[in-house]
Structure 1
Amino acid sequence: MKIFYYIYTFYVWFIGGLLFFLIALFSILAMSFISPKKFRPVFTFLLRQIFNIVFIRVKVEIPDDFDYNQRYVFMPNHVSVLDAPLMVSYMPQFINALEAKEHFDWPIYGTLIKKWGNISINRKSVQESIKSIRIAESKLKNENSIIVFPEGGRTKTGQLMKFKKMPFHLAQEAKVAIIPVGASGIFSLNNKGSWLMKPGKIKVKLGNPIPVEKVTSLSSKELMEETREQILSLIEYI
């Protein structure tokens, strides 16, 4: 069985990686002429095909009363390298991500996320992090939703880690609702510290929004705890 997973892992990194590379090049070129928002349907369709080709089935549950015209701060749990393409592909809105500064220096991928409008954040500098928050606030005011992983990094155990305060300050200062997101099944397919991949199923479940009134009335600590409880309730250990 282990040999199968080694072969499958090679298939994912070679075929999936090659497809992502080609999609990234095409997208960088396309977004030189088309805005990311207009290009989103094409981009997300292409990314979803990678998941299909590598035999990872994704199911998404969105609340029936989800308001597609509102802007939100989406907060999912962070498990794997699969999380970023997964969230961009399957979130119900165009989203910009707060992303580690070093990612913007990576060949091709760095150019892609710059074109998409993601926001660089230096986790080692408080001053630079504050600047990133201001940029994120500006995007929220311009009707873009934001996605940020409140743990600030990938879990090594599959369990939800301690949250950072910064994402909650962002939601409070921008006065926007938070959408808790629970992603299940990813840890068994790939996890931090391992290149090994397995085929399988992923479930992404969006919770009900934590309304603006609650976001602004709670302390950042209370808001953090409320969001954490909701994310935990959305995660299914499948």
Structure 2
Amino acid sequence: MLVFGGGCVRLALSRNACTLVYMSPRSIISTIIAALLWMLSGTVFLLLGSLYIVLSFVVKPRAIHQITRAICRILLLCAGQRLTINGRFPDVTSQAYIYVFNHTSMLDTFIMLAILPEFTGAVGKKEQFSVPIWGAILRRFGAVPLDRDNRAAAIASMDAVGRSFDEGLSLLVSPEGTRSLTGELGAFKKGPFHLAVRHQVPVIPTVIHGAFNSKRKGDWRLFPNRVEIEICRPICPAPSSLGDAVDGIQCAVRTEFIDRLERHK
């Protein structure tokens, strides 16, 4: 690494060539800050994540939801994230809901768990369950693994989640199914909306603004940032035929997301 005039030139060597990459002082500072945030938040995640796993063997995760919220808020604070919440969730004691959010960052799940007023069920890609510590947390939380490459297994997983509505348990899910590479809203899967119609459960769109700029997919850096969350009114499935009702509520929820995201630009 060579230093020139307040900036920095990183020497990148390959088998057949040598490339000089200029790094401005601002880039150097942001890289150092990102590394420090990872060190702090990573250490706290290991400690508090391990504590959560131990606690979940003693007390049911549903009974320690407030502790889960506090852990997620501490993690986000250590990652340099400040949350601003607009809107309020409805009374969660009367019925179950499906909470859906736009997925642009690995921080989204922590953001949602930090603000949700109740313990919820959850689904996640099966690959997440093999990640050290995080996979154990998901299993202890009671999350259901979803195999997107196996349609029959995916349907069985969603059916298992649907049965929890009978116990009054709400669901947290991203209708996109994966993180956006661009920060734009991706295509919606039909699974959550099939559940909403079949079990007549209202859907609450929760719009996250700014998390893409905090930690985007494909970039290791973590940037301190203010994240705004908009809580929308519940959208109820229409009492019509299954196909029409699923398409109807999916369209209504997507329109709500698009309107809120466009308004925030």
TM-score, normalised to structure 2, is 0.84
More strand by share: 2
Equivalent pair of 1:61/1:205 in contact (CA under 8 Å): yes
Match runs of 1:204-219 below 5 Å? 204-213=229-238, 218-219=244-245
Against the structure 1 CA distance between its residues 8 and 214, is the aligned structure 2 distance closer, same or farther, given a 3 Å change threshold?
Answer: farther
CA apart distance, 1:3: 1.3
- Give a deviation string over 1:154-207, Cα, whole Å, max 9, x none: 111111011111111121122200001100011111211111111110011111
Equivalent pair of 1:71/1:144 in contact (CA under 8 Å): yes
What is the percent sequence identity of the aligned residues?
A: 26
- Give a deviation string over 1:61-114, Cα, whole Å, max 9, x none: 2337x1221210111100011111111111222122110011111221111111
Q: Paired residue for 1:3?
A: 28
What SS does the aligned partner of 2:207 have? Answer: strand
Which residue of the other structure, out of 221, 246, 253, is the alignment partner of 1:220? 246
Equivalent pair of 1:178/1:215 in contact (CA under 8 Å): no
Letter of the structure 2 residue corresponding to residue 63 of structure 1: R
Letter of the structure 1 residue corresponding to residue 75 of structure 2: I
| Structure with bigger RCO (C-alpha 8 Å, 6+ apart) | 1
Q: Distance in 2 between matches of 1:25 and 1:131?
A: 30
Q: Distance in 2 between matches of 1:169 and 1:222?
A: 11
Q: Paired residue for 1:107?
A: 132
Match runs of 1:24-173 below 5 Å? 24-63=49-88, 66-69=90-93, 70-173=95-198
Unaligned stretches of 5+ in structure 1? Answer: none
Equivalent pair of 1:28/1:111 in contact (CA under 8 Å): yes
What do you get for the CA RMSD once the two structures are aligned?
1.7
Q: Distance in 1 between matches of 2:211 and 2:31?
A: 18
Q: Distance in 1 between matches of 2:42 and 2:156?
A: 33
CA apart distance, 1:215: 8.5
